[in-house]
Amino acid sequence: MDQQSSVGIRLLEVRRSRGLSLRALAASSGLSINAISRIEREESSPTVASLQRLASALDVPLIQLFRVAPECATVVVRHGEGLKSRSGGVLIESLGAGLRGQRSGPFLMTLEPGASGGEESIHHEGEEFVHCLEGEVEYTVGTGRHHLAEGDSLLFLATQPHTCRNLVDRAARLLIVVVAPPGDMQATQQRHLMLWET
């Protein structure tokens, strides 16, 4: 399986485990049936905003769309082996998924020059931490704009609409950690334990 497109297969598994039709997921996510079908068939990769909308519609944390292994107490992800999704000059790589009771979702995001996390802002429960590893980005959170250069960090409540954009002529790399509210992810996992089985 191509790791870069396996998010589509995971989406299909989660949707089917919930007993949802493409039409039902489209209605609850606001994405078209055709767009979701193309993602599941690995004909296209979802944007960051689309991934978050799908995860919210499925009532799962975003990290679950990147998870393929059974839950365990320790997770090791070798360099370059995390599940990936690429769309519109943005590459998102999971840095760890599958921990028992997991509340955090660590990701590496690479934005090519001019690329953004999506034209639409996203929002979700919990907190989000961003650390700029390389390059420069503009992060919009609520009504505020924050310029992040190499070594800068940003922490915010993720219920605020947010998005990011690379405004310079070289790639930017960000470490992003999404943290669910206490008890939120655990409760979701208990309600839908079957979602995490592969």
Instruction: Look at residue 196 in the predicted model and tell me its pLDDT.
Output: 27
Closest CA to 66 of 55, 76, 57: 55
Mean pLDDT of 160-178: 95
Instruction: Look at residue 108 in the predicted model and tell me its pLDDT.
Output: 95
**Its pTM surpasses 0.75:** no
- Mean pLDDT, all residues of the chain: 83
Architecture of the 3-67 domain: Orthogonal Bundle (1.10)
Residue 90 has pLDDT above 60, yes or no: yes
Give dist(CA 192, CA 63) in Å, integer: 15
172-186 per-position pLDDT tens digit? 999 999 998 765 544
Report yes or no: 127 and 154 within 8 Å, Cβ to Cβ. no
37-89 per-position pLDDT tens digit? 998 988 887 877 788 889 889 988 777 787 665 678 888 888 988 888 888 89
Tokens of 34: 């055709």
Give dist(CA 88, CA 46) in Å, integer: 9
User: Would you list the domain boundaries of the chain?
Assistant: 3-67, 84-179
Closest CA to 46 of 77, 18, 84: 84
Instruction: Look at residue 132 in the predicted model and tell me its pLDDT.
Output: 97
Instruction: Look at residue 60 in the predicted model and tell me its pLDDT.
Output: 81
Residue 92 has pLDDT above 60, yes or no: yes
Mean pLDDT of 98-109: 87
Instruction: Look at residue 86 in the predicted model and tell me its pLDDT.
Output: 84
Q: Hey, which residues does 128 pair with through a beta bridge? A: 156, 178
Instruction: Look at residue 189 in the predicted model and tell me its pLDDT.
Output: 35
Give dist(CA 89, CA 124) in Å, integer: 23
User: Do the domains spanning 3-67 and 84-179 agree at the CATH topology level?
Assistant: no
Could you please state the CATH topology (level 3) that the domain comprising 84-179 is classified under: Jelly Rolls (2.60.120)
Between residues 14 and 173, which one has the greater pLDDT? 173
Instruction: Look at residue 1 in the predicted model and tell me its pLDDT.
Output: 37
| DSSP letters spanning the chain | --GGGHHHHHHHHHHHHTT--HHHHHHHHS--HHHHHHHHTTSS---HHHHHHHHHHHTS-GGGGG--SPPBS-----TT-S-EEEETTEEEEES---BTT--EEEEEEEE-TT-BS-SS-B--SSEEEEEEEESEEEEEETTEEEEEETT-EEEEETTS-EEEE--SSS-EEEEEEEEPPTTHHHHHHHHTGGGG--
